[in-house]
Amino acid sequence: MKNPSFKGTANVHRLLIVVLVALVIGGLPLLACAFSRAPASTSVTVVNNSNLQFKHAYFSPVDGNNWGPDQLNSSTIGPGTSHTLSTSCESSSIKVVLEDQNGCFLYKTVSCSDNSTWTVTNDSTPDCGSS
């Protein structure tokens, strides 16, 4: 004589396996999307309406000082000119750093969700370090 409770247990196990397989198959597209999401990219147009000449431009995390490579590649942003910088973002915002001909810096935080314009004027106060 067969044990009727064993048959019920086997059916429960089969049902559980089917449900788990369905969950795994259904969740694969979500996992693929999460792992393949490319970082956001943004561009910042620097408009130089100041008397300064910028020799270097960098991107940095907002809360860090580990700047990336020089974005100007041996060019400059002279008075009355503009230059568009582009980068990818790992977070929602990024810091743009400009270095002028005197070795002083200007900083601006921009959103990575849209392209922006940063207009530098003679009223902008550069960071020239401690004296």
Both 45 and 32 in one domain: the answer is no
Both 44 and 31 in one domain: the answer is no
Residue 79 structural domain: 40-121
Question: What tens digit of pLDDT does each residue of 85-123 get?
Answer: 999 988 899 999 999 999 999 999 999 988 999 999 999
Both 12 and 55 in one domain: the answer is no
Question: What tens digit of pLDDT does each residue of 13-54 get?
Answer: 777 777 767 666 776 565 554 454 566 789 999 999 999 999
- Classify residue 24: in a domain, yes or no: yes
Q: What's the pLDDT score for residue 116? A: 93
CA 88, CA 39: separation in Å to the nearest integer?
6
- Per cent of the chain over pLDDT 70 is 79
CA 97, CA 103: separation in Å to the nearest integer?
12
Both 21 and 55 in one domain: the answer is no
Can you give the pTM of this predicted structure? Answer: 0.69
SS3 117: strand
Both 66 and 4 in one domain: the answer is no
CA 4, CA 11: separation in Å to the nearest integer?
11
Both 22 and 85 in one domain: the answer is no
CA 63, CA 95: separation in Å to the nearest integer?
8
User: Band of the pLDDT at 7, cuts 50, 70, 90?
Assistant: low
CATH of the domain at 45: 2.60.40.2890
SS3 56: strand
The total domain count for the chain is 2
Q: What's the pLDDT score for residue 66? A: 86
Both 14 and 44 in one domain: the answer is no
Type of residue at 80: G
